[in-house]
Amino acid sequence: MGALVEIAAVTLADPLDGLRSGFLDGPKPGAVIDAHAVDVVGWVLSSGPRAVAVEFVSDGDVLWREPVHVARPDIEKAFPDRPESASAGFRTALNLIGTPPRFAIEVHAVLDDDRRTKLATIDGMHRWRRDRSPAFAELVSVVIPCFAQAHFLGEAIESTLAQTYPHVEVVVVDDGSPDNAAAIAARYPGVRCVSGRNGGMAASRNVGLRSTNGDFLVFLDADDRLLPEAVEAGVRNLEEHPECAAAIGTYRRIAEDGTPLPTHDQPIVEHDQYAQLLRTNWAGFPGRAVYRRSLFEHVAGFDPEMEAVADFALTLDIVRSFPVKSHATLVAEHREHGTNVSGDAALMLTKTLAAVRRQQPHVTGSAGLTEAYRYATKFWRAYYGEQLATQARLSLRDRQIGKALREVGVLARYHPRGIRELLGRRSPASS
């Protein structure tokens, strides 16, 4: 698996206050574990009231409580004067998802008079496996899906070839494009083009993922551009933060002809990344990110059912389990034009809410995440609902009745206030 846990040290408490003896047989210092969970094995004997359980504590919070009841014939033989020594052992798989990048887990013995006393500390860190094979080590694969965007594709490719980072491969996914995407890709030596069979943007990104070799991945839309230091900045941040699954930089908006547009302030999000993403989608489009390839052993990739917001749905799945590095380097330009899928407010409203609803099972039991989920549901209804009401007015003005009926139907389901606003205002044609 790509996500690893490295055990730096296992230290017994000195002195063992209130305990006669105890030990952690595992994990061992230096162990590198291919999982989110660490097997913890040990035993404990108190000097007074019996030890009935052990608790694993991180930053003052109890992660898990495990009974002390595992048979230990070796401990029974060593301490024949203590009847409880025969079952003084404990064993558990300790789930470390959500613990800090560098963690210190204290193991406390719980006595039957409800006192706690420290037994040991497990120090470690999260990090990711790297592909160190000579052919692909340090290689960054840039995937560029293209459907009816061939007139922008050359700029996307050239922006990738102009990277300051030296080890980049470019794979264009021709998603059954009606224009000459494959021919344009063929103009650039070393750029490969593969067929995406008109499966949509999400499916094309997944095709590109399977067709590349790099240890790192960038997914660049054909109508966007990378800035020269984008890949170098992403790889550098991931080298400096081995616990992070991806590095996400900032971007600027450009018009169809490439001229700059005003761009909103973009926060650098270091804490509560999952809750913040639910509320605001601070990570934005995937061209801002450099991903570790090994991350995709843990997440399912881009979901075609989410199509318009597949990148948002994927990022929610990522930051729910792993930290990412949010950094301030300007890495991408996002082009805004008349055919952006994000301009379809009805589609964006329904799919964004679907992506948020998928998170409901994962927020249960956390007051903070439950609040973020409720806020997100209200926020995205209003955010895209207001845009949809405007689009519906324009559709009515232009007598696009079928389109208007679809938009009003979505408003009725998700943002009824938009219909009241629609009916309460004069149409643009009558103003």
pLDDT tens by residue, 295-331: 999 998 999 999 889 999 999 999 999 999 999 999 9
Per residue in 393-415, pLDDT (tens digit) is: 888 889 999 988 999 999 989 99
How are the residues of the chain apportioned to helix, strand and coil, as percentages rounded to the nearest 5?
A: 35, 30, 35
Q: Does 232 score more than 70 pLDDT?
A: yes
Q: Is the pLDDT of residue 94 over 90?
A: yes
Tell the residue number behind the tokens 């094979």, with chain if given.
133
Distance between CA 28 and CA 289 in Å, rounded? 35
Q: How much is the average pLDDT of 342-362?
A: 92
Scan for tokens 């989410």, then name that residue: 306
Residue 1: per-residue pLDDT? 60
Does position 82 have pLDDT exceeding 60, yes or no?
yes
Q: What is the mean pLDDT of residues 164-189?
A: 92
Q: What is the pLDDT of residue 162?
A: 97
Confidence class for position 291, pLDDT limits 50, 70, 90: very high
> Residue 373: pLDDT above 90?
yes
Percent of the chain predicted with pLDDT > 70: 95
Report the C-alpha gap between 372 and 391 in whole angstroms: 28
DSSP 101-149: SEEEEEEEEEETTS-EEEEEEEEEEEEE-----TTTTT-EEEEEEESS-
Q: What is the mean pLDDT of the chain?
A: 91
pLDDT band for position 105 (50/70/90)? very high
User: What's the pLDDT at 339?
Assistant: 64
pTM score: 0.85
Give the closest residue to 174 by CA, choosing from 157, 150, 156.
Answer: 150
More confident residue, 190 or 37: 190
Banded pLDDT at 132 (limits 50, 70, 90): low
Instruction: Show the domains of the chain with their CATH numbers.
Output: 3-128 (2.60.40.10), 140-340 (3.90.550.10), 357-430 (no CATH)
Mean pLDDT in residue range 46-73: 94
Q: Please give the average per-residue pLDDT across 417-428, as a whole number.
A: 69
Under the banding of pLDDT at 50, 70 and 90, the label for residue 427 is very low
306 within 8 A of 202, measured Cβ to Cβ: yes
Amino acid at 213: N
Q: For 140-179, where are the E strands, in sequence order?
A: 140-146, 168-174
- Say whether pLDDT at 139 is over 90: yes
Q: pLDDT band at 342, cuts 50/70/90?
A: low
Q: Are 358 and 274 in contact (CB under 8 A)?
A: no
Q: What is the CA 145 to chain-centroid distance, rounded?
A: 21
pLDDT of residue 425 exceeding 80, the answer is no
Encoding tokens for residue 251? 């971007």
CB 399 within 8 A of CB 333: no
d(C-alpha 238, C-alpha 245), whole Å: 8
CA 208, CA 185: separation in Å to the nearest integer? 14
Phi/psi at 411 (5° precision): -60, -45
Q: For residue 51, with 0-12 CB atoms within 10 Å meaning exposed, 13-18 middle and 19 or more buried, which class applies?
A: buried
User: Quick one: which of 182, 221, 193 has its CA closest to 339?
Assistant: 221
Closest CA to 344 of 278, 294, 390: 390
Residue 428's pLDDT band (cuts 50, 70, 90): very low
Could you give the CA distance from residue 360 to residue 130 in angstroms, rounded to a whole number?
33
Give the strand pairing for 216-219 and 225-226. unpaired
Q: If you ran DSSP here, which 8-state letter would residue 380 be given?
A: H
pLDDT bracket for residue 343 (50, 70, 90): confident
pLDDT digit string, tens, across residues 374-388? 999 999 999 999 999
Q: Please compute the mean of the pLDDT values over residues 340-360 and round it to a whole number.
A: 89
Secondary element (H or E) of residue 66: strand 61-67
**What's the pLDDT at 431?**
37
pLDDT for position 37: 86
3-state secondary structure of 75: helix
pLDDT at 219 exceeding the cut of 90? yes
- What is the predicted pLDDT for the residue at 227? 98
Residue from 419, 394, 251 nearest 327 by CA: 251
